[in-house]
Amino acid sequence: MDGVTDGAAPGPPLARLFAIAYRSLIDDLHAALRTRGWDDVRPAYGFVLLAARDGSTTVTELVDLLGFTKQAASKLVDAMAAAGYVRREATAADARRRPVVLTARGRTLLAAVEDVYRDLEARWAAAIGPDGVERLRADLVAVLAGPGGTLPPVRPTW
């Protein structure tokens, strides 16, 4: 049997699978966070936390990462700051830049996120094997990464 790919039954469209996969991970992540007492975490927070972990981030950098307007990114940061996860700072060199840095609470949440994340990927590994997960990741990166290995913005809005 080698005729799997021809015409008739190509299986579910990739877009649908990606949408479901993304949603499944995010839903599970936030459900797990809620059971641990984090009940004011919005889906985009995770990406911001990750970005802030790897060095301070500005609103403009978040725009590149998330793919929505700077106004929206600004509001997002405001909300995260109000919830105590991040703090806006000042830069000596450039008074316009107001870097977003993690608070202690933010770091705690980040640790929880990473922890849950490990569980979730482990569940994927249980289904398709650890090498299956890495193959998946590698394939996705191979298709999505542009020259220089940079990934496009996230923004799964619909």
Partner DNA sequence: AGATTTGGTCAATTTCGTTGACTAACTGGC
Partner DNA sequence: GCCAGTTAGTCAACGAAATTGACCAAATCT
Q: Which residues bind DNA (CB under 7 A)?
A: 42, 44, 58-60, 68-72, 74-78, 88, 93-99, 155, 157-158
DSSP letter assigned to residue 92 = S
Q: Which is nearer to a copy of itself, 89 or 115 (CB)?
A: 115
Rounded CA-CA distance 129/2 in Å is 24
CB of residue 70 vs DNA: minimum separation in angstroms?
4
H/E stretch holding 138: helix 130-144
CA 59, CA 69: separation in Å to the nearest integer? 10
**What's the one-letter identity of residue 31?**
A
Q: Which of residues 14-53 bind a copy of itself (CB under 8 A)?
A: 14-26, 29, 43-44, 46-47, 50
- By CB under 8 A, residue 142 contacts a copy of itself: yes
DSSP β-bridge partners for residue 101:
87
Looking up tokens 């923004």 gives 155
The site for a copy of itself (CB under 8 A) is made up of 4-5, 10-26, 29, 43-44, 46-47, 50, 67, 117, 120-121, 123-124, 127-128, 130, 132-144, 151-158
